[in-house]
């Protein structure tokens, strides 16, 4: 009688092993290639903050003295903030944001968010119309660029529609 050897793997065991390795590789690749999450989230948060500034301007009293009806967002490249009035650095107001991203001076820390945003200042009047300078000059529709802090990866562009202030 011939004795059968029980060494080695069966074809079915090898196929099951390759299926498991394939599933693990697919999960690992999907986690590694999703590096744009910070950029997309940062751009969406910036859009929300721009809409918030516009809403605050539209809810201000149109008969208020001076430039009290002007609200806006300003960015230095390392942080951005909400302000009231014609001077972006004078009256900084706390934006709705997760506490871990807020600096002691009430600005949003872009380094902690792992993103870079091009410098800009946007003013909104009490009708929600955006301006690039205050007073008088109409917003020219310059896009705001949001990129990963580490370099590489994709860049998201935030646009503000002239005359209407619509932020798509």
Q: How far apart are the first and last CA of the chain?
A: 80
Looking at the domain assignment, is residue 104 inside a domain?
yes
**Could you give the number of structural domains in the chain?**
1
The whole-number pLDDT of residue 52 equals 94
Average pLDDT over residues 72-80: 92
Q: Is 165 a domain residue?
A: no
DSSP 2-26: PPPP--S--HHHHHHHHHHHHHHHH
pLDDT number for residue 135 = 64
Asked, for residue 29, whether it belongs to a domain, the answer is no
Quick check: is 135 in a domain? yes
φ and ψ at 151, to 5 degrees? 80, 165
Integer Rg of the chain from CA: 26
Residue 163 lies in a domain: no
Positive or negative, the CA dihedral 89, 95, 97, 99 is: positive
In this prediction, residue 18 has a pLDDT band, given cuts at 50, 70 and 90, of very high
Burial of 80 (0-12, 13-18, 19+ CB in 10 A): buried
120: in domain = yes
Q: Predicted confidence band at 10 (pLDDT cuts at 50, 70, 90)?
A: confident
**Three-class DSSP category at 127:** coil
Give the structural domain span for 84: 37-158
With 60 as the cut, is the pLDDT of residue 1 above it? no
> Where residue 84 falls among pLDDT bands split at 50, 70, 90?
very high
Q: What is the mean pLDDT of residues 147-151?
A: 83
> Would you say residue 66 lies in a domain?
yes
Specify if 54 maps to a domain: yes
Identify the bridge partners of residue 156 per DSSP, sorted by sequence position.
146
C-alpha–C-alpha distance, residues 134 and 123, integer Å:
7
């Amino acid at each position: 009688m011939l004795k059968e050897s029980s060494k080695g793997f069966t074809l079915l065991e090898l196929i099951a092993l390759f299926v498991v390795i394939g599933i693990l590789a697919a999960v690992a690749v999907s986690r590694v290639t999703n590096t744009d999450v910070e950029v997309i989230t940062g751009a969406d948060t910036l859009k929300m903050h721009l809409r918030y500034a516009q809403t605050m301007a539209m809810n201000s009293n149109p008969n208020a003295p001076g430039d009290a009806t002007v609200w806006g967002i300003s960015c230095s490249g390392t942080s951005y903030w909400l302000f009231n009035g014609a001077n972006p650095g004078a009256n900084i107001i706390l934006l709705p944001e997760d506490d871990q991203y807020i600096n002691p001076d009430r600005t949003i820390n872009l380094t902690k968010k792992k993103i870079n945003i091009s410098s800009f200042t946007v003013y909104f009047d009490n009708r929600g119309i955006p301006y690039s300078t205050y007073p008088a000059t109409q917003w020219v529709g310059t896009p705001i660029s949001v990129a990963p802090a580490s370099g590489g990866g994709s860049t998201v562009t935030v646009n503000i529609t002239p005359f209407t202030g619509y932020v798509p």
